[in-house]
Every structure is written in C-alpha cells, then in structure tokens.
Chain A
C-alpha cells in the first residue's frame, strides 16, 4: 500500500504567476482534500474533490481551483499568485462511502514561496 505523495517538494514563484501542485492519493482512496498551512498556523481547508467533482470549499477565492482525475490523483492550481500564498500545501486522501469520509491520510506537502 503506497502512501500519499505530493510534487514538487519545494517551489519558488513570483507574484502574478500561476502554479500547479500535484497529489497522488493512497491506493483505494476516492476523496482528496487540500489544505493551506501558513508558517506557525494550523492547516486551513481549501476544498475537497470526490469522484472528480468539487465537494465542499473553504474560504478561498476562485483563483484557487482544482482537478481530480479518474485515477483519483489531484491538482491544485493557483492563479495570480500573491505574497500571502506562501505556505505549505497539504493534500489528504480518504475513502468516502455513504456520505461519510473515513480517516484522512496526509501527504508530506509542497512548500510554495512567492517572491
């Protein structure tokens, strides 16, 4: 059983650019959630994807968007990067059935720095 993996590990971008972060779910999982963790803070929920559709969203602007693919891997896209987007981006995969989501397993994260 493979765990949750994320790529890249680190990324440096400049203001106004666009970035794509990737996440491979744990085998057998059908749900992916993305979180943003600023330095010294707890993670904040961005959105969740279930069966390739967005299934809940936190308080993040539309320039944060995502995709989930048939193999349940996922992408997080951020357009028009701002300095405050600098953070550790975590994805978590889980198995959802009957409206309930089981324990979420987190990846190691992608550290994004916006200059």
Chain B
C-alpha cells in the first residue's frame, strides 16, 4: 500500500528565505507526482506536476524535483513571501484512478 510522508509537518520562516519541503513515498511505481497548495478551508491548487520520467519541474519561484528510485521529492521555494503561507501537499498518482496524498506541510512566512 502506497504511503506518502511529508516533513516537516509545520515550518515558520522569515520573509525572503529560501526553503525546502520534503515528500517521500514507499512505492516507486508511480505515474507522476504533484505538489498542491491549500489555503485554510479551501480547495487545492496544483503547483507543479512531475511525470515519472522527469527529474524536475519549475514554475516561477518554485522548483520541484523527483527521485523515483529513492522515493523522494522536494519542493524548493525561492525568496519566500507572506503570500506563500499555506499548506503544501504532495500527491503521487498510482494509476488512472487515484492520487495518494501526504498529510501536508503547514508553511508560515513571517513579514
């Protein structure tokens, strides 16, 4: 059974810092890995999707990497801003059927 773990559970940093969020998964047989952002009480916004054949994806200040063999992914956020405060979720797609999510990292950027 696929399990997805995110570390740390919560992170608080001052504005302007670069930071890394971690995600690990137990079964490397995945189609893709996706990073989402969730604001309190809201739905999910897709940030980056990495296909299983890819190593990384970039969008603006965000960069996500994928190492399937070791079952790890990182989300790098450059020059953090207070507007980046949210919960970040990673999810792996096992097939054309479902996403398996981690529990999320709650990020707070302090002005």
**Residues in chain A within 8 A of chain B (CB atoms):** 4, 33, 35, 40-45, 48, 55-56, 58, 88, 90, 92, 96, 99-101, 103-109, 111
Contact, CB under 8 Å: A42 / B4: yes
With an 8 Å Cβ cutoff, the count of chain B residues facing the other chain is 24
9 pairs of A and B residues whose beta carbons are closest in the complex: A42-B101, A56-B97, A45-B98, A106-B44, A108-B43, A106-B43, A101-B96, A42-B103, A109-B43
Residue of B nearest to A91 (CB): B43
Give the chain A neighbours of B43 by CB distance below 8 A: 4, 90, 106-109
B36, B45, B96 interface centre (most CB from chain A within 10 Å): B96
Give Cα distance in the complex from A42 to B92, angstroms.
12
For this complex, 7 residue pairs linking A to B, each with C-beta atoms less than 8 Å apart, are: A33-B99, A41-B103, A45-B99, A92-B44, A96-B96, A103-B34, A104-B99
- Taking Cβ atoms with an 8 Å cutoff, the residues of B that contact A are 4, 31, 34, 36, 41-46, 49, 89, 91, 93, 95-104
**Minimum C-beta distance from A42 to chain B (A):** 3
> Nearest chain B CB to A2's CB is how many angstroms away?
14
Min CB gap B109→A, angstroms: 20
Q: How many A-B residue pairs have CB under 8 A?
A: 62
CB atoms of B41 and A111 under 8 A apart: yes
Main secondary structure of the interface of A (DSSP, over half): strand
Q: Please name the residue on chain A nearest to B31 by beta carbon.
A: A100
Residue numbers in A under 8 Å from B100 (CB-CB)? 45
* Bound Cα distance from A109 to B89, whole angstroms: 16
